[in-house]
Amino acid sequence: MENTLPASETLGLNHKLSDYSQLTKMRLATLVVFSAAMAFMTAPGAIDFVKMGWLILGGFLVTGSANGFNQIMERDLDKLMDRTLTRPLPAARMSVTEAIIVCIVTGIAGVFILGYFMNMLSAVLGLLAILLYTVAYTPLKRKTPFAVFVGAIPGAIPPLLGWVAATGNINSVGLLLFTIQFLWQFPHFWAIAWVLDDDYKKAGFNLLPTGKRDKGSAMQAVYYTISLLPVAVMPLVFNVSGWVSMILIVAVTFYFLFQAIQLYKECSIEAARKLMYGSFFYLPVVQIAMVIDKIG
């Protein structure tokens, strides 16, 4: 006789897995882990795909843990915003105790995997990312727009982690990969904050540089996008990329800058949305270009 779960239990399991996915923000974690994997593949030498698989798993667990702790800490605020009120904690589909257990288990497992299958420096970076995101960034979000700067540090750790996982050390190339993602986060996050500003303010979050949708906030996005231009040629300087990929990287950086300038000119939600989507496009293109150069 076929051994299957009753439909009600299957539906309950699917709902529980969906809640865990929302708690750990798996879609966001996918983007984060992608950066680590691309940096791992960029490192010199043959690509160890088994090791990279462990990096991806460890990265998912560490990122999920940090995201979950963030939601635990902000569960009462999430009830106030339209985009977050259906998350498992504010919607009371999951207890705080259960969420804490999930985050502790995934965090410990992720750090262990990074330390055991990569190296201890990778484990330290994974743990540092969790701590900075939860202990520093999350509490600051309601106090100051400077929280974006603080949050950009753990947000830029994944490519550095991927490089360290492959090489075992932090060098100029690893720091370059960190810097690219660090600078990219400002126009990326401010575009999101611009689009969602009304919803954010329901929970007391003022994440735009000036606290409102104005030319001052837009200009900050322009400044940080401009700062990506000199960084765009650095992969060639450090022999991480060739001329073809450098031209591609510079081209997409100019287009990213064009979108930031359009936001400054228009100061509209539509322009911010275009910049947001442009940021989703920009970073993977830059990282894939460097990997293609290595493989090619």
Q: Are residues 29 and 163 in the same domain?
A: yes
**pLDDT at residue 1, rounded to an integer:** 40
Quick one: 267 and 196 in the same domain? Answer: yes
Q: What is the CATH number of the domain that holds 159?
A: 1.10.357.140
Specify the pLDDT at position 9: 55
94 domain residue, yes or no: yes
What is the DSSP track for the chain? ------HHHHHHHHHHHHHHHHHHTHHHHHHHHHHHHHHHHHSSS---HHHHHHHHHHHHHHHHHHHHHHHHHTHHHHTTSTTTTTSTTTTTSS-HHHHHHHHHHHHHHHHHHIIIII-HHHHHHHHHHHHIIIIIIHHHTTT-TTHHHHHHHHHHHHHHHHHHHHHSS--HHHHHHHHHHHHHHHHHHHHHHHHTHHHHHHTT---STTSSSSHHHHHHHHHHHHTHHHHHTHHHHTTSS-HHHHHHHHHHHHHHHHHHHHHHHH--HHHHHHHHHHHHHHHHHHHHHHHHHHH-
Distance CA(296)–CA(287), nearest Å, equals 14
Lookup: tokens for 162: 């991927």
**Is residue 296 a part of any domain in this protein?**
yes
Q: What is the pLDDT of residue 6?
A: 58
Same domain for 186 and 281, yes or no, is yes
Same domain? 178 vs 285 = yes
> Does residue 228 lie within any of the structural domains?
yes
Residue 197, both tokens: 């500003």
Same domain, 24 and 164: yes
Domain stop point among 138, 170, 202: 170
178 and 204 fall within a common domain? yes
Last residue of a domain, one of 145, 170, 195: 170
Print the domain residue range for 222.
Answer: 171-296
142 plus 194 within the same structural domain: no
Domain termination site, one of 170, 186, 204? 170
Q: Are residues 138 and 68 in the same domain?
A: yes
pLDDT of residue 16: 85
Q: Give domain status of residue 224, yes or no.
A: yes
pLDDT along the chain (296 residues), means of 10: 51 80 90 94 92 97 96 94 93 94 97 97 97 93 88 95 96 95 96 95 90 95 96 88 89 97 97 96 94 77
Split into its structural domains, the chain has a count of 2
Whether 3 maps to a domain, the answer reads no
pLDDT of residue 91: 93
